[in-house]
């Protein structure tokens, strides 16, 4: 966990005509004990809008590189950022999804109505085999969310058997008839989703008992140990975490947490993705930074029942949720992605990195064309969002050792209110290089940092930056390169310190060697 202390250097920098004290930062390489799990950098592909259909899975007639109907330019983009896991089929959709409808000959698969998202009909042409082939192409771990809300214990048990057993049975013979002789050995398994809401509107006590029942029959098969993940709290529902940890902790590998950054804080009118004032931006970042409190308080509750921190906190839905783009289907949750969203992504990932002793998996919502997407598509066109570029900058932290960061952030002030302007996380990789990711959320002020790296011998620093002239800047199909990663040269060695001049509204990644 990041610790703050009040220490300022006397070096000055000039911001809008005012002298600003440089901020003293210490990054402690002597205490590199916790691994930042690569699974913190996971993603989410729900049957929602154009994420799966017309996203990952496209028409035969679309003129793009494909394997079967999997869009390969998307696959290549996700491989570049080393996506570690992909969560599917939901979300709310998971608790109305019956897996046997999505196997076998596609022309014979039953159609269904997606009652959660837009009331559209789906032909089930993208199912278990297609999803696992997608994960194989991306080279990521599948994370499957099972149906507790409308499904049965037997249904979930047989899905696990179909996926993971190598013994002869009706399920494994059926798997072979459908083209997969060997088990996939799927490790990560969610037992329901948002069981407090769209997954069944359950009480925590009822769900805890139900979870244990479903988890019992989701079997471990030889060579296929299951990592069972319980449906956890909605944002600040600390009682849900308390009950689940008290009643079911020993039966789970992980417990989820869902929290979305809603710019206005009002689910009825969430705010625009592209048109907002600085005051609205400030409020959005306040709601984003709330993740620090949520992770801290849920972790504290988990510590009471699991002091060894065996159970992972899995933040498998997070991101900014705005009003949909004008003229689009409100049930498809299609929104643009601005520099503001990149600052949200960088800030949130820094929080997860700094809590990596408990947070060991997370999933941004969602991968393509839905909410805080990495990728937007239109026909055969594809663009990478500012959020995608943050994941490109931060991939260096995957499976690296967390380095504790100590500093006191200056304030970002708007209309008499204040937030910490700077957030940082750091790690040391297997080759001994130190990686530092920094976010300055202040919309107007450059901030100078003087970073002390005790017990680190280094001679050079290299940097990259993501920023843009305006917080509202976006990449479009007409101009896909407006918000992209650039070389950053405002970091230098000065004696034994690393001096960084951190521009306003920027995400910066440094490599110290």
Q: Report pLDDT digits (tens) over 216-257.
A: 999 999 999 999 999 999 999 999 999 999 999 999 999 999
In whole angstroms, give the CA distance from residue 230 to residue 339: 34
Coil/strand/helix, residue 119: coil
Neighbour count for residue 406 (Cβ, 10 Å): 16
In a domain, 157, yes or no: yes
The DSSP code for 250 is G
In 16-140 the beta strands, taken as DSSP E runs, fall at 18-27, 42-44, 66-67, 70-71, 85-88, 112-114, 120-122
Question: What's the confidence (pLDDT) of residue 7?
Answer: 32
Domain that holds residue 67: 38-259+308-400
Sign of CA dihedral 302, 311, 238, 152: negative
Cβ atoms within 10 A of the Cβ of 412, count?
22
Is 194 considered catalytic here?
A: yes
CA–CA dist 476, 162 (Å, integer): 42
pLDDT at 8: 31
Domain annotation covers residue 371: yes
Q: Facing residues of 3 across strands?
A: 406
Say yes or no to pLDDT of 5 above 50.
no
Task: Single out the catalytic residue among 141, 194, 392, 497.
Answer: 194
- Residue 31, pLDDT score: 82
Number of folded domains in the chain? Answer: 1
Report if residue 162 sits inside a domain: yes
| Alpha carbon distance 344, 228 (integer Å) | 29
Residue 431 lies in a domain: no
What b-and-e string marks burial along 459-481, b requiring 16 or more CB atoms within 10 Å of the CB?
eebebbbbbbeebbbbbeeeebe
| Total number of residues shown for the chain | 513
Choice among 292, 317, 392, 497 that is catalytic? 317
pLDDT value at residue 483: 98
Please check whether residue 173 lies inside any domain of the structure.
Answer: yes
Q: Chain-centre distance of CA 411, in angstroms? A: 27
Cα separation, 388 vs 81, in Å, equals: 8
Q: Mean of the per-residue pLDDT values for the chain?
A: 95
Q: What is the pLDDT of residue 392?
A: 98
Evaluate whether 367 touches 373 at the Cβ level (below 8 Å).
Answer: yes
Task: Tell me whether residue 501 is in a domain.
Answer: no
Asked if residue 19 belongs to a domain, the reply is: no
Is residue 141 within 8 Å of 82, Cβ to Cβ? no
CA dist 486 to 103, 436, 502, 505, 509, Å?
Answer: 45, 16, 14, 14, 11
- pLDDT for position 1: 38
**Band of pLDDT at residue 413, cut at 50, 70 and 90:** very high
Look at residue 18 in the predicted model and tell me its pLDDT: 47
**pLDDT mean over 439-444:** 98
163-213 tens-digit pLDDT: 999 999 999 999 999 999 999 999 999 999 999 999 999 999 999 999 999
Dihedral of alpha carbons 196, 335, 387, 503, sign: negative
| Catalytic residue check, 130 | no
CATH code, domain with 150: 3.20.20.80
In a domain? residue 179: yes
Calculate mean pLDDT across residues 381-403: 98
pLDDT given at position 21: 82
> Among 449, 467, 491, 482, which residue's Cα sits nearest to residue 343?
467
Say if residue 66 is exposed, middle or buried (CB neighbours under 10 Å; 0-12, 13-18, 19+): middle
Read off the pLDDT of each residue in 388-393 and give the average, rounded to a whole number. Answer: 98
Strand ranges (E), 321-397: 359-364, 375-378, 381-384
- What percent of the chain is modeled with pLDDT above 70? 96
pLDDT in the model for residue 274: 97
């Amino acid at each position: 966990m990041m610790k703050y202390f009040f220490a300022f250097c006397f070096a000055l920098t000039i911001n809008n005509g005012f002298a600003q004290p440089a901020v003293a930062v210490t990054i402690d390489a002597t205490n590199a004990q916790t691994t930042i799990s690569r699974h913190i950098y996971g993603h989410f592909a729900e049957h929602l809008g154009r994420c799966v259909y017309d996203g990952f899975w496209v028409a035969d007639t679309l003129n793009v590189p494909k394997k079967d109907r999997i869009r390969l330019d998307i696959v290549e983009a996700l491989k570049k950022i080393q996506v570690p896991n992909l969560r599917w089929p939901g979300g709310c959709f998971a608790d109305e999804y019956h897996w046997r409808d999505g196997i076998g000959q596609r022309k014979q698969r039953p159609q269904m109505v997606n009652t959660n998202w837009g009331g559209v009909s789906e032909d089930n042409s993208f199912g278990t085999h297609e999803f696992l082939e997608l994960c194989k192409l991306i080279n990521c771990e599948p994370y499957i969310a099972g149906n507790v809300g409308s499904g049965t214990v037997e249904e979930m048990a047989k899905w696990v058997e179909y996926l993971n057993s190598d013994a002869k049975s009706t399920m494994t013979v059926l798997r072979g008839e459908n083209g997969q002789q060997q088990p996939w050995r799927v490790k990560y398994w969610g037992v329901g989703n948002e069981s407090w809401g769209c997954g069944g509107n359950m009480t925590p006590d009822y769900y805890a008992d139900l979870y244990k029942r479903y988890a019992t029959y989701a079997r471990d098969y030889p060579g296929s140990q299951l990592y069972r993940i319980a449906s956890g709290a909605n944002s600040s529902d600390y009682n849900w975490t308390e009950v689940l940890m008290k009643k079911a902790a020993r039966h789970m590998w992980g417990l989820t947490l869902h929290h979305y950054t809603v710019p206005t804080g009002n689910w009825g009118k969430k705010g625009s993705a592209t048109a907002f004032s600085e005051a609205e931006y400030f409020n959005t970042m306040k709601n984003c930074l709330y993740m620090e409190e949520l992770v801290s308080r849920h972790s504290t509750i988990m510590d009471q029942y699991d002091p060894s921190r065996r159970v992972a906190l899995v933040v498998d839905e997070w991101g900014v949720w705005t009003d949909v783009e004008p003229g689009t289907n409100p049930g498809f949750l299609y929104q643009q992605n601005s520099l503001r969203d990149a600052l949200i992504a960088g800030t949130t990932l820094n929080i997860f990195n700094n809590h990596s002793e408990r947070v060991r998996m997370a999933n941004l919502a969602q991968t393509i064309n839905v909410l805080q997407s990495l990728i937007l598509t239109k026909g055969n066109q594809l663009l990478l969002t500012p959020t995608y570029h943050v994941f490109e900058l931060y991939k260096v932290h995957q499976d690296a050792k967390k380095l504790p960061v100590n500093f006191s952030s200056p304030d970002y002030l708007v209309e008499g209110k204040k937030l910490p302007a700077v957030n940082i996380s750091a790690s040391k990789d297997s080759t001994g290089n130190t990686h530092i990711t920094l976010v300055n959320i202040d919309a107007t002020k450059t901030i100078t940092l003087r970073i002390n790296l005790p017990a680190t011998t280094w001679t050079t620093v290299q940097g990259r930056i993501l920023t843009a002239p305006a917080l509202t800047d976006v990449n479009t199909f007409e101009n896909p390169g407006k918000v992209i990663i650039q070389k950053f040269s405002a970091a230098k060695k000065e004696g034994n310190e690393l001096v960084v001049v951190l521009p306003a509204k920027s995400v910066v990644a440094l490599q110290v060697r």
